[in-house]
Structure 1
Amino acid sequence: MKPSPRQNLTHQLTYDLGIAIVEGTYPVGGGLPSEADLCVQYNVSRSSTREAVKMLSAKGLISSRPKQGIRVLPENSWNMFDTDVLTWILSSKPSLALLKEFTQVRLAIEPQAAALAAMNATYEQLEDIEKALSRMVEADQGLDDPLDADIAFHTSILVASGNRFFVQLTEFIGTALRVSIRYTNKIKGVPGADVKKHADILNTIKSRNPDRARDAVTAILDEALELIDSQL
């Protein structure tokens, strides 16, 4: 079912205001125009404006209270695990410090996910990781998108871990990988990831060796951190 026109207007206003906040058009601690003024400024209904304000409040970007108006909250209140918030930040100001923090999150999660995949992955899930690796090979030949293939590989391991919390992180990891991988590949001067190292990860998972799987993922993430650190 297609979204209603009002839903589309709400989402567009949420996006426009979210980008404006992240880019500093509305600075932290400052106020946004009133809902009535936003209606006029963005040519949307009061109900759409109210819904957009609620969505931004839920994402931790603003607070809206009677007599205080709409205030922009500090960055440590923003929900970094919200894919909209993360996308806005990464599209407007993907700082090296932020990419480093994200890679540190990956380092805390993905090696363990690979170890769990080595123990828990079903035959179908192993096939999904293998298909993603095949896409990476094809991407090297110009037959697939290298970024999409790389993201599919890493997120399929999260799914194969069998850990429901890790599975919930696939969209978050995929969103940030879109910027992070592009950046580290640019530093290395290559269009795509090292297929051999990713094949080694798959083989350790298929051999049901959790320690080797953990070490194989740790190695490529340590390399990514070193690359980022070299540019800071």
Structure 2
Amino acid sequence: MGLAKNFHGHTVELLGEAVITGRYAVGASLPPEPMLCEELGVSRTVVREAVKSLAAKGLIITGPKLGTRVLPSDQWNWFDPDVITWQARAGLTPEFLRDLQDLRRVVEPAAVRLAAERATQADIDEIEAAYAGMKQAVEHGGDYVTFDLRFHNGLLRAAGNRMLTQMSKALGALLRTSFEISTSRKDGPKLSLPLHRAVLDAVIAHDPEGAERAVIRLIDGARKDIEEVLGSRRRLPRLSRPPLQLKAA
């Protein structure tokens, strides 16, 4: 059972990445089943299940008269963590990053307002622990990005909304793109640390307006970092690699 699951997962990944990288053009048909079986070294059952998975993610459409055709990217499920991960591996695009910033600007301020109203002590302890990890990485070196993700996911969970908690799975993959860029900028993490502290302090104080203002400052700073990187035409980070490690101060 475990091996069959691995074959399935690997096949979905190979076909998903092939669609996202444009190996199969929009509107084009995927190769026939026997050809895919031979190319991927798997059975027809595995190929069929993989095709079903890709259809569920909005990458392709299947039907008796249609065959199996690639859909345009605006129909892909961008809240599916696999779709985001495959796009990030294929290469971050300016459109992808700007969509991310717009999404953060819409979702996070509202979520943080709710977190300031509803956060339990357990929620606050989790966000405090994430902040402590970020501070440790800035002062002594280490993995800042993972703790930054934990901080923001903690805020989404503290909003006490099941849909926002579910969204954090997809947002996590998206947010990492932003954090990788900010972390690569000189003193980026050091400068953003007090902004994170301001968000956390407002949540602890159960101050929704203060929390919203503080997270907007944080998001707008990240947007500026990303626009500067896009404007400079510097290479964008690849998310298939482990997070960037900070050096000790």
- The question of a shared fold, defined as TM-score above 0.5 by the shorter chain, is answered with yes
Once the two structures are superposed, the pairs formed by residues 56-71 of structure 1 within 5 Å of their partners are 56-71=54-69
**Could you tell me which residue of structure 1 aligns to residue 207 of structure 2?**
209
**Could you tell me which residue of structure 2 aligns to residue 50 of structure 1?**
48
Pick aligned residue for 2:101 from 100, 103, 118: 103
- Aligned residues: CA RMSD: 1.5
SS, match of residue 70 in structure 1: strand
The letter of the residue matching 2:11 is L
TM-score, normalisation: structure 1: 0.93
**Could you tell me which residue of structure 1 aligns to residue 38 of structure 2?**
40
List alignment gaps of at least 5 residues for structure 2: 232-249
The C-alpha deviation readout for 1:144-202, integer Å capped at 9, x for no partner, is 4100000000010000111222111111111111222112333x324636211111111
Q: Which stretch of the first structure deviates more once superposed, 218-227 or 200-209?
A: 218-227
- Give 1:208 shift: 1.0
For 1:112 and 1:31, locate their aligned partners in 2 and report how far apart those are by CA, in whole Å.
41
Q: Does 1:114 align with 2:112?
A: yes
SS, match of residue 62 in structure 2: strand
The letter of the residue matching 2:198 is D
8 A contact 1:116–1:161 mirrored in 2: yes
8 A contact 1:146–1:191 mirrored in 2: no
Q: Which stretch of the first structure deviates more once superposed, 54-63 or 141-150?
A: 141-150
TM-score, normalisation: structure 2: 0.87
**Could you tell me which residue of structure 1 aligns to residue 195 of structure 2?**
197
**Could you tell me which residue of structure 1 aligns to residue 22 of structure 2?**
24
The letter of the residue matching 1:201 is V
8 A contact 2:18–2:24 mirrored in 1: yes
- Give 1:228 shift: 2.7
The C-alpha deviation readout for 1:117-165, integer Å capped at 9, x for no partner, is 1110001111111111001011113454100000000010000111222
SS, match of residue 63 in structure 1: strand
For 1:41 and 1:156, locate their aligned partners in 2 and report how far apart those are by CA, in whole Å.
43
**Could you tell me which residue of structure 2 aligns to residue 130 of structure 1?**
128
8 A contact 1:116–1:210 mirrored in 2: yes
32 and 190 in structure 1: CA distance in 2 versus 1, 3 angstrom threshold: farther
For 1:206 and 1:142, locate their aligned partners in 2 and report how far apart those are by CA, in whole Å.
26
For 1:165 and 1:117, locate their aligned partners in 2 and report how far apart those are by CA, in whole Å.
14
- Give 1:30 shift: 1.0
Pick aligned residue for 2:162 from 161, 164, 169: 164
Q: Which stretch of the first structure deviates more once superposed, 4-13 or 147-156?
A: 4-13
Identity %: 35
36 and 229 in structure 1: CA distance in 2 versus 1, 3 angstrom threshold: same
8 A contact 2:19–2:70 mirrored in 1: yes
For 2:162 and 2:42, locate their aligned partners in 1 and report how far apart those are by CA, in whole Å.
39
For 1:104 and 1:36, locate their aligned partners in 2 and report how far apart those are by CA, in whole Å.
42
